[in-house]
Each structure stands twice: as C-alpha cells, then as structure tokens.
Structure 1
Amino acid sequence: MTNLSATDIVGTLAALCSMASFTPQIVKIWRERDASSVSLRMYVVTVTGFMLWIAYGVLIGSWPVAASNTVCLALSGAILALKWRFGENRG
C-alpha cells in the first residue's frame, strides 16, 4: 500500500481538476455545433503551454507532470480542432 502525502493528494486533485476543466467546453461546442465564442488565440497559447509543460516534465523526469499535461493537451487540442470546425465561418 502506498502512503500518499498531503502534497501528493493536492497535486493529484489539482491535475484532475485541470484535466476535467476542458470537458464542459467540449460538450457545449459539440452539442451546439458552435464555437464562435471560443477564443482561438487563447487556445493556441494554451496548447503551446501544455506542449512546453510536457517537455518540462520529460526533461526533469516527472511522469506525473508530463502525463497530466498530455491529457490537458489532448483536451485543449480537441477544443482547438472544434473551433476550426465550428467557428464563425462555419455553418
């Protein structure tokens, strides 16, 4: 049995919240087939940030940092793809 410290628990909860935070936006865009209110610039910066976090996690040998940010990259990348598919000029 693994003994988790308070730091491990807080870090795990933070990662889970970060990963889950993208789901409502994905569901909303998919249901409404509309991403016109989603900021393209914001998600380009977000995706770039997650790529850098993954690189950082790999470089310091921290698989939790790399893994959680890989999930966040996939989810924010999905929002970016939906933005391109269902953005302002789509109909």
Structure 2
Amino acid sequence: MLETLGYIAGILTTVAFVPQVMQIYRTKSAKDVSLAMFLLFTVGVALWLAYGLMTHSFPVIAANTVTLMLSFVILYFKWKYSKTSNT
C-alpha cells in the first residue's frame, strides 16, 4: 500500500508538468515562467533523484527522473524562446 501511494503521488506530480510543457511549446513563449523558480525546482528534483537512488526507492527514482527531464525541457524552452524574442 505504501509503495502504491508513492507511485500515485509520483505520477500525479510528474504529469502535472506536461500541460506546462505543451503550453510553452504551442505558444512558443515561456516569458511567464520564472527562471529562478525553475532553476531552484530543477536542483531540488535532482536532489530527490539522488535521494531515491541512495535509498533504492523506485517510485522516487521513476517520478523524479521523468520530472527532471520535463524540467530540463521547460528550461530549454525558456532559454530558446527568450533568445528568439530578443531579435
């Protein structure tokens, strides 16, 4: 039961970022995304992933691996679309 709760929490918190990625991709704009917040968030997710690896907690590892990838996509879009809007 405890591990199931971990999987459900991981799925929900990870999937929550998909609409943001899709919105940024569709609008080609990430101007409303706070770079400082997302950098701090990304470091936090990386630390959660490290914690999951050290404790061998697969729900934590799986959720934070996917969330970290989505976070990198958002940071990439933030960089990419801020460059194109300055020209």
Which TM-score applies when normalising by structure 1?
Answer: 0.85
Q: RMSD of aligned C-alpha atoms?
A: 1.2
Q: Compute the displacement of 1:47 (Å).
A: 0.8
Question: Within 5 Å, which residues of 2 pair with 1:7-86?
Answer: 7-86=2-81
Contact 2:49 2:65 in 1 (8 A): yes
> How many equivalent residue pairs?
85
- Give distance in 2, aligned partners of 1:10 and 1:26: 25
More helix, by proportion: 2
Contact 2:10 2:63 in 1 (8 A): yes
- Give distance in 2, aligned partners of 1:47 and 1:19: 13
Q: Which runs of 5+ in 2 are unaligned?
A: none
- Give distance in 2, aligned partners of 1:8 and 1:67: 12
Q: Which runs of 5+ in 1 are unaligned?
A: none
> Equivalent residue of 2:29, what SS?
coil
Identity %: 38
- Give distance in 2, aligned partners of 1:9 and 1:55: 21
Which TM-score applies when normalising by structure 2?
Answer: 0.88
Higher alpha-carbon Rg: 1
